[in-house]
């Protein structure tokens, strides 16, 4: 079983070595590691070159300009030569059994996608666990499209660092370059419409909690990304049974409302009213 792991990198040198080492220390070694750096300026590229010299199965691509995470993922996926692929962001890390657990589950169930549990940790001390993504068995719905587009997973967040059959992923298509954020959410919606998915409650990775909250401009970008995604799948939602469609629209509205509440308090009433009207028009069309 040839598993490719790609690592995204952008000004994360202080964490990147730990990320790379966590892949190298797997009980089931990857077939290849592909590191794509999005024009870092903190010495990350020099570190990546050192690892590539030391390990022949580590390859890298350096973007000459910052292109955003969606393009980073597409660049990495275009270089994959393995049969299965998973990923790691440069500030996170795998537990030693990540690839072993997921490859075993993939083979056992003949799945297209496998995902496992994650631990969210202190960014400066990864032994300090803040919370675990799923504390009970993860229930997969009979309609994975509905479950995914409504983010009906633990803590209202989607699975991450999933292992995917590469041929299946190529058939579905890579990330949407119209998105600079939530590109993974959009891809998983597409995957959920056709994939056979298996999962395990066992934690196999640690995710560093971001120290930075959303700024006013960040929140607006998040709202725009949600708008784009919901518009893209407007037809699929409209084709659902009435009972399902009603639940989906309600969940989508709640997700958008959640983002609206995150908009900085110093925004003017006029701006907030414009955002509210725009979101309401979007929901009413569904």
Reported confidence tier of residue 239, pLDDT bands at 50, 70, 90: very high
If asked whether residues 186 and 222 sit together in one domain, one would say: no
> Could you give the count of Cα atoms lying within 13 Å of 14 in the half-sphere of its Cβ?
4
Same domain for 41 and 152, yes or no, is yes
Longest CA–CA separation in the chain, Å = 58
Domain of 9, in residue numbers? 3-208
Let me know: does 186 contact 230? Beta carbons within 8 Å.
Answer: no
Mean pLDDT to the nearest integer, 111-136 = 95
* Calpha distance 265→286 (Å, rounded): 29
pLDDT in tens, 54-109: 999 999 999 999 999 999 999 999 999 999 999 999 999 999 999 999 999 999 99
Distance between CA atoms of residues 145 and 219, nearest Å: 25
Confidence class of residue 212 from pLDDT cuts 50, 70 and 90?
A: low
Q: What is the predicted pLDDT for the residue at 264?
A: 43
- Among 148, 183, 208, identify where a domain stops: 208
Q: Which of 190, 208, 226 is the last residue of a domain?
A: 208
Residues for the chain: how many in total?
Answer: 286
Q: Please indicate, yes or no, whether residues 103 and 232 belong to a single structural domain of this protein.
A: no
Model pLDDT, residue 270:
46
> DSSP strand E in the chain: where?
3-9, 32-37, 58-62, 84-89, 93-94, 113-122, 125-132, 163-165, 197-208
Last residue of some domain: 160, 183, 208? 208
Q: Are 150 and 265 contained in the same domain?
A: no
Q: If you search the block for the tokens 């640690």, which residue do you land on? A: 206
For residue 219, what pLDDT is reported?
76
**Dist. CA 71–CA 178, nearest whole Å:** 10
Same domain, 188 and 228: no
What pLDDT is recorded for position 211?
57
């Amino acid at each position: 079983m040839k598993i490719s792991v790609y690592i995204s990198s952008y000004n994360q040198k202080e964490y990147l070595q730990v990320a790379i080492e966590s892949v190298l220390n797997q009980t089931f070694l990857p077939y290849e590691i592909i590191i794509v750096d999005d024009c870092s300026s903190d010495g990350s590229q020099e570190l990546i070159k050192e690892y590539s010299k030391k390990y022949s199965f580590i390859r890298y691509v350096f973007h000459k300009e910052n292109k955003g995470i969606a393009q980073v993922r597409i660049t990495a996926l275009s270089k994959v030569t393995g049969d299965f692929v998973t990923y790691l962001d440069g500030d996170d890390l795998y537990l030693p059994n990540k690839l072993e657990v997921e490859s075993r589950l993939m083979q056992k169930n003949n799945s297209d996608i496998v995902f496992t549990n994650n631990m969210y940790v202190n960014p400066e001390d990864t032994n300090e666990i803040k919370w675990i993504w799923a504390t009970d068995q993860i229930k997969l719905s009979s309609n994975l499209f509905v479950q995914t587009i409504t983010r009906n997973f633990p803590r209202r967040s989607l699975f991450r660092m999933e292992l995917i059959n590469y041929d299946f992923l190529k058939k579905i298509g890579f990330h949407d370059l119209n998105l600079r954020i939530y590109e993974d959410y959009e891809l998983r919606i597409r995957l959920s419409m056709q994939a056979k998915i298996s999962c395990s409650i066992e934690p196999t990775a640690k995710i560093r909690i971001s120290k930075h909250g959303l700024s006013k401009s960040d929140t607006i970008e998040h709202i725009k990304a949600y708008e784009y995604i919901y518009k893209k799948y407007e037809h699929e939602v409209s084709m659902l049974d009435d009972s399902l469609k009603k639940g989906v629209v309600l969940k989508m509205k709640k997700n958008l409302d959640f983002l609206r509440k995150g908009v900085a308090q110093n925004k003017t009433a006029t701006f907030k009213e414009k955002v509210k009207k725009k979101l309401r028009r979007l929901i009413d069309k569904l």
